[in-house]
Amino acid sequence: MLAGAFTSARLSYRAVEDTEAEKTWYHEHIRSDPVTFGLGDSNLVRPQTKTKSDDHLSGISKSLLGVVICLKPQSETVQPTPIGVLVLDDEASDNYRHHHRLACLSLSIATEHQNQGYGREAINWAVDWAFLRANIHSISLGCVEYNEKGRHLYEGLGFVLEGRFRKCHFHERRWWDLLLFSMLEEEWEALRASRDTPVNT
């Protein structure tokens, strides 16, 4: 199992690299795309500076799990192609909350690689990693109400809608709810027990 710990069917996962090429890719393909930014970040949708993007990427690298999602290369001579980022953050920082074993998940896929099932595959991998390797008890995530594709994806993966922050998100002259989803350790066990476990597709 360890040999394939950082891969799934079509994807590989690696740590964030502190290189200018990595920072430029993240700024141009994730933080500068208004749709990707708007669906993956609750901050005001506006052009981002390279410095802000660099700071954000640096924060990802310090998370419990902060990885760049890559397409597996077709040959050993080709480098993996980065297509997105995935973060699992226990949000404990310097506080004494690690014993609760909670993690918050977020995901961003570059526009040109969306709607191809990569998000589903990456989340399945991250959920397995969290429960198999990091001893997490509960994974939560937020989804703004108008992100219907996201909601459909999360529910299809087994996340449970447990509540909402009502009318807390302003977007295009309307107030929207933030939907709160989670998956508990025992729910993951039940999902995987119904198939070959773990799954990475």
Spatial contact of 105 and 123, defined as CB atoms under 8 Å apart: yes
C-alpha count within 13 angstroms, C-beta hemisphere, residue 184: 6
Spatial contact of 153 and 114, defined as CB atoms under 8 Å apart: no
Q: CA geometry: angle at 136 spanning 197 and 114, to 5°?
A: 65
Q: State how far the Cα of 51 lies from the Cα of 165, in Å rounded to an integer.
A: 31
Whether the link from the prior residue into 198 is cis, omega within 30° of 0, is yes
The amino acid sitting at 34 is P
- The conformation of residue 115, written as its DSSP 8-state character, comes to S
- Beta-bridged to residue 176, according to DSSP, are 169
Q: State how far the Cα of 33 lies from the Cα of 50, in Å rounded to an integer.
A: 13
Helices (H), the chain: 20-26, 34-40, 50-61, 118-132, 148-156, 185-193
Residue 146 annotated to the active site: no
Pick the catalytic residue from 13, 26, 118, 154: 154
Active site residues: 154
